[in-house]
Amino acid sequence: MKKLFLKNWRDIKDRKAQFGALIVLVALGVSSYVSFISGFLNLSASAEDAYGRLKFADFSVKVFSAPKTVVSKIESIKGVKAVQGRLIVDTGLYISEEEQAQARIVGVPAGSRPKVNDILIQKGHYLRGRAKDSGVLLRTYADARKVGPGDIIKPLVNGEQKEIRVAGLATNPEYFYAISSKGDIPAPGEFAVIWMAQSEVERVFQKPPSYTDISVTIEKGANRAKIIKEAEDILDPYIILETVKREDQPSAFSLNEEIRQNQSFAYIMPLVVLFIASLSLFIALSRLVQSQRGEIGLAKALGYRNWQIVVHYLVFALFIALAGSVVGYALGYYFAREITRLYVDLLGIPFLKHQIYASPVVGSVLMSSIACILAGITPAYASAKMRPAIAMRADPTITLAKGRTPLVERALAKIMPIPFVLKLPLRNVFRARRRSVYTIVGIAFALILTVSTGAMFDSINYLLDYQFYEVEKWDMVAVFNRNFSHDVINRVESMEGVKRVQPVLMVPAKLIANGKKRETAITAMEPDADFHGFAISEGFNSKDALKMDGLILTPLAAQKLGVKVGDKVGVETPYIEDRRLTFEVLALSEEMIGTPVFANVRQGRKILRAPGYVYNSLYLDVDPREGKDIKKKLYELPGATAVMIKQSLLDKLQELMSFTYVFFGVMLAFAFTMAFVVVYNTFTTNILERTREIATMRTIGEDRWHLAVIVTLENLLLAVAGIPLGLWLGARANEAMYASLSSEAFTLKAIILPFTYVWITGSILVVLLISEVPAIRRIFRLNLAEATKILE
């Protein structure tokens, strides 16, 4: 075996470029696995560390208004660790005459830190003394608006500006992901959180001493469901609006979705890469075995046993696996740290946790070893089955092949004369069919990851365009914390620049079916309203479904509740106790963002037992030139808590997408690197197999550049078959990947535009031409005397 191991080493040195390419392929797969797995573990650890340090609530109960005495009652529940009551008010924030933002005022203890949902001061200081007319501002908003400690901000109180001095800038576990409600799109500079002394919130907003939010942490191992039930029993007299578990809290939910997507990428991408690597290794070892038939026959004739021959060729696979794992883990560990750092900065997580985890180390070695051994076992076994006498002859599949003119050549010859420079590569493609198939498959698999990553740009752009132009057919939306009637609508309609107003009643509700419950908000609208574009996949059209007093759900919401079109769903609201209405599901609408529920406004009033026409949201079509002035006037209306201009929201989102596009760009570079390695390995092996043939042609006087053109044309002919196959496989892989990434937060569709196919095809042709440069250089450097020797 020692001599066979020595032969292993000499073969590796002789084909170092080819083995190096295979090691790079495995390293790419391992590095993608390690970087994503470690990245999501780091991100999870960083978030959990921050949640622990800042005492993130295990659950919160939102009530209409509760006396402060409820805190001590809830603290007495067995298993409760700490309770913090807060008065929370949503309002507007004056920025300038042309611009306002959404603000959330949160009452906290002055002089002492909150027991639950603590605040981490990052600049300035915490509230001191009575903290009159001062507050702590959310860091992400402050950075976006360039606000610092000592500056004045102006929240709106009943439409009037109230000056508050910024004591400090901070973050908080409820707002790492700076959104006000589940399903919102983060827009830096559009949503501000201001922590003020509880007594100041009561004074400024003229509220009695009370809480609207009770946040609770529990002891480790305590029964959360039981504690929630007991807390709800205590708070029931004060109208429970919503109970939010930690994992359903808007920021935590969005952050968990980011982590989940990282986890999905961590398993999908490396599997694709390692599959391609193992296929390339299988092809390379199969061709190595064929090229070493003489050596295999000689070894067996000298007495080497079958298992020794098998081990000899498996050593190549294990060497590639080990070397690829070492290089891949080193790269993956570095990328994981950078990915975590980027995400932590983007999401506002204050603490970075980065460490070495056992699972990626073990997983990377196992994945690469299994992939390489599976790829190597068949060629290794094939080598052991060869009979010495037959193996030491030239390959019978070539020597006994009958020469014939390919059908394609015969068909072309009837149309035009075929020059020798094209005739030879055309015949080579059909003469060595196994080699041609290997090359076509190599080119196709090089395209899979390229198409999948390139399509990410199309899918994200489609999501934004579809959501903001096909679904959200409004220019501006205004949300209020109180119900209003037609007098407010008439007032808004009379504003200069307002073209049309569509009122909506947003109803917090719980959907119940088949023993399953789902907290949501029902958008109660007029059947003729068109501010929202529906994509009905099943059931009645949206107008008829609403006219018939039915519900419109998303397919995902229907699946979660176990219902279909025609089934009944129970509806409860926290505003009306001990009352459940039943509605029929009449349509399912595909939604790309969130899982909204829609009903007739008449049904919304019925849920709330409202005596007349009441609404709490407005969707407006406006003159874009008057948008900022209208937004200012809307914030001056009593109860206005959030006013958003769609174009401004889209512009902010495009800014946020810059990180995503950079990430996609890195992935695309990764994909093209892998494509280069795959194609390079394939072309190099082709030249190695044809060394004697090419050397013979050069010996009889064929020009080197002429040979280079022939090789290039042959590769291009094979690309004609490989590229369409690769595009098709890439599109299927893209569909599978996006299906695994879709969630309640958003649904991604696998969209690939024709232009994307064009530029990917052009790019892969460039990669192909670059990849064959080393192989052509090998032709130029051939030692003709050595290469034309015949071993029989």
Rounded Cα gap, residues 420 and 732, in angstroms: 39
Is there a domain that residue 87 lies in?
A: yes
11 and 116, same domain (yes or no): no
45 and 74, same domain (yes or no): no
555 and 634, same domain (yes or no): yes
214 and 321, same domain (yes or no): no
| Per-residue pLDDT at 785 | 64
Contact 571, 512 (CB under 8 A): yes
* 633-649 tens-digit pLDDT: 888 888 888 888 888 87
Is there a domain that residue 585 lies in?
A: yes
Sign, CA dihedral 364-370-371-373, equals: positive
616 and 495, same domain (yes or no): yes
- Residue of 29, 86, 17 whose CA lies nearest to 57: 86
184 and 122, same domain (yes or no): yes
Is there a domain that residue 467 lies in?
A: no
| Per-residue pLDDT at 409 | 65
292 and 365, same domain (yes or no): yes
| Per-residue pLDDT at 235 | 92
Rounded Cα gap, residues 157 and 687, in angstroms: 78
85 compared with 680, residue with greater pLDDT: 85
495 and 635, same domain (yes or no): yes
Is there a domain that residue 167 lies in?
A: yes
Q: How confident is the model at residue 399 (pLDDT cuts 50, 70, 90)?
A: very low
* 495-543 tens-digit pLDDT: 999 999 999 999 888 889 988 888 888 999 999 999 999 989 999 999 9
182 and 95, same domain (yes or no): yes
| Per-residue pLDDT at 747 | 73
164-171 and 134-138 strand pairing: parallel
Is there a domain that residue 426 lies in?
A: no
Is there a domain that residue 7 lies in?
A: yes
Domain holding 503, by residue range, is 472-653
Residue 400: pLDDT over 50: no
| Per-residue pLDDT at 240 | 85
Write the CA distances from 143 to 88, 98, 174, 322, 359, integer angstroms: 23, 20, 18, 46, 37
Is there a domain that residue 724 lies in?
A: no
Backbone phi, then psi, for 664, in 5-degree steps?
-65, -40
**Which residues, listed in sequence order, are joined to residue 213 by a DSSP beta bridge?**
62, 86
Number of structural domains (the chain) is 3
232 and 88, same domain (yes or no): yes
* 138-185 tens-digit pLDDT: 998 898 889 999 999 999 887 788 999 999 999 999 998 888 877 676
* 768-789 tens-digit pLDDT: 888 878 777 777 776 666 656 5
| Per-residue pLDDT at 390 | 59
Looking at 624, 653, 682, the residue that finishes a domain is 653
| Per-residue pLDDT at 388 | 65
Question: Which range has highest mean pLDDT (4-13, 90-99, 199-208, 737-746)?
Answer: 199-208
And the tokens for 4? 């066979």
| Per-residue pLDDT at 476 | 92
| Per-residue pLDDT at 402 | 53
Please state, for a pLDDT cut of 90, what percent of the chain lies above it: 24
Is there a domain that residue 29 lies in?
A: yes
The stretch 331-342 carries a mean pLDDT of 79
Looking at 191, 218, 251, the residue that finishes a domain is 251
* 112-134 tens-digit pLDDT: 889 999 999 999 999 987 788 89
- Dmax over CA atoms of the chain, in Å, equals 102
| Per-residue pLDDT at 475 | 92
Q: How confident is the model at residue 443 (pLDDT cuts 50, 70, 90)?
A: confident
**Entry pTM:** 0.69
| Per-residue pLDDT at 404 | 67
Least confident of 199-213, 447-461, 486-500: 447-461
485 and 601, same domain (yes or no): yes
Kindly report the length of the chain.
792
3, containing H or E segment: helix 2-14
511 and 529, same domain (yes or no): yes
Looking at 251, 277, 304, the residue that finishes a domain is 251
